[in-house]
Amino acid sequence: MEAATAATAAMMWFRKGLRVHDNPALDAARRHGAGAASARLYPVFVLDPRYLRPDAVAASPGSARAGVARIRFLLESLSDLDARLRRLGSRLLLLRARDDVADAVCAALKDWNIGKLCFESDTEPYALARDKKVTDFALASGIEVLTPVSHTLFDPEEIIKKVFETRMLIIQNGGRPPLTYQSFVSIAGEPPAPAMEEYSELPPLGDTGEYELLPVPTVEELGYGDISQEEIPPFHGGETEALRRMKESLQNKEWVAKFEKPKGDPSAFVKPSTTVLSPYLKDVHRSVRNHTKPPVSLTGQLLWRDFFYTVSYGTPNFDRMKGNKICKQLRNWGWMHHLARHSVACFLTRGDMVCPVICKACIE
């Protein structure tokens, strides 16, 4: 690739935000300079062996690997993303990392002579270490790096900065992340509006050289064929399905207005009494008048999710049992207050992280 082209060659590194609409990182990747389009665009997803090596008892204690239902959902999401990119004149470049995703991304940046790297910000501990390695390499190589926030409504780092900037909260909270839902809401304010611009095409693909560009594999091809699954989940991955579900849910304005989380029916399996959007959660809706209020409303559920991410970002050892003070009561007593158990249930079920040790302890 010629040096003149490198400055306008961009990589869009997909990770969690497997969508085309309302994707600030993708929007940044397709642009060059003052509104001009990038000459070449490389939309990339890297299969991570940390999660994808089959584990018959996943998620088992100490294992980061995902169960077959989650893998199936991911593969469906990748297939849908690829289809949507193809409709825009592009495609998903699927790579497989041997050991380290960061090494695979850095190699592609170098081999494809990338001038700009864009990816969605991620505050989870594993992602922070991975992204720092890639960012350090890119900056040292003269590559521009853009990491907009779009996995959450608010930037957890900015929320924590607001705590420091508010004198009263510094005194009361010691400069820590907000530790209650209401304090988080009062600090956060109104979320920014989603990106509304739509586009009919993306810049053309660049030359990938000798790289083997994989089709989206099946669960069997990943080695999950021998892992039993009693039934196929009724919820299919992908931006297309997520938007369909959101539109279907929000068309019932009376239901949206009167939605209250505690009044949902967990035994409603044929037609769930909630949106079933947590696996897909990528967007935010506008509420209607005469509606229920946070924390029980639909909007409140989005704010709970952001609150969780903010606390996790500002709390050392949040992803570990060892050294994590909030796990001491469970470890020592084998019991927690019902509100603490509710917090654990949210931790497990709202698409954030999985902690099977806590889950097993709560059940037993």
pLDDT tens for each residue of 46-74: 999 888 876 555 544 445 566 777 788 89
The pLDDT value recorded for residue 267 is 45
Does the annotation list 14 as a binding residue? no
What integer pLDDT is reported at residue 73 of this predicted model? 85
Please list the ranges in the chain whose pLDDT falls under 50. 1-4, 59-62, 167, 169-171, 266-269, 282-296, 351-352, 354-364
Asked if residue 52 belongs to a known ligand binding site, the reply is: no
State which amino acid sits at residue 323: G
Per-residue pLDDT at 345: 66
3-state secondary structure of 130: helix
Residue-level pLDDT at 212: 86
Is 305 marked as a binding-site residue?
yes
For position 133, what pLDDT does the model report?
97
The answer to whether the CB of 109 falls within 8 A of the CB of 10 is no
Contacts 24+ apart (CB under 8 A), 255-259: 256/285, 256/287, 256/288, 256/291, 256/298, 257/287, 257/288, 257/289, 257/290, 257/291, 257/292, 258/291, 258/292, 259/292, 259/296, 259/297, 259/298
Please work out, in degrees rounded to the nearest 5, the angle formed at the alpha carbon of residue 28 by the alpha carbons of 39 and 96: 80
335 marked among binding-site residues: no
Instruction: Report the topology of domain 152-192+240-315.
Output: 1.25.40
Query: Which residue type is seen at 261?
Result: K
Is 13 annotated to bind a ligand? Reply is: no
The CATH number of 3-150, from 1.20.1250.20, 1.25.40.80, 3.40.50.2000, 3.40.50.620, is 3.40.50.620
Tell me if 3-150 shares its fold with 152-192+240-315: no
C-alpha to C-alpha distances, 255 to 116, 188, 295, 314, 350, nearest whole angstrom: 44, 26, 16, 35, 21
Q: Which H or E run includes 182?
A: helix 181-188
Rounded to whole angstroms, how far apart are CA atoms 286 and 298? 10
Contact between 85 and 202 under an 8 Å Cβ cutoff? The reply is yes
Residue 26 counted as an annotated binding residue:
no
pTM confidence score: 0.68
Tell me the one-letter amino acid at 257.
A
Is 139 within any annotated ligand binding site? no
What is the torsion angle, in degrees rounded to the nearest 10, for the CA atoms of residue 49, residue 55, residue 59 and residue 62? -70
What is the side-by-side order of every strand in the sheet holding 144-146?
Answer: 93-96, 40-47, 9-13, 116-119, 144-146
pLDDT score of 106? 98
The pLDDT value recorded for residue 282 is 36
304 in a labelled binding site: yes
pLDDT computed for residue 246 by the predictor: 77
Q: Does 267 appear as a known binding residue?
A: no
Residues 6+ apart with CB under 8 A from 55: 63, 65, 66, 67
pLDDT of residue 213: 86
Question: pLDDT value at position 167?
Answer: 46
Q: Sketch the domain layout of the chain as residue ranges.
A: 3-150, 152-192+240-315, 321-364
Q: How far apart are CA 215 and CA 238, in angstroms?
A: 16
Distance CA 271, CA 261 (A): 16
Distance, first Cα to last Cα, the chain? 59
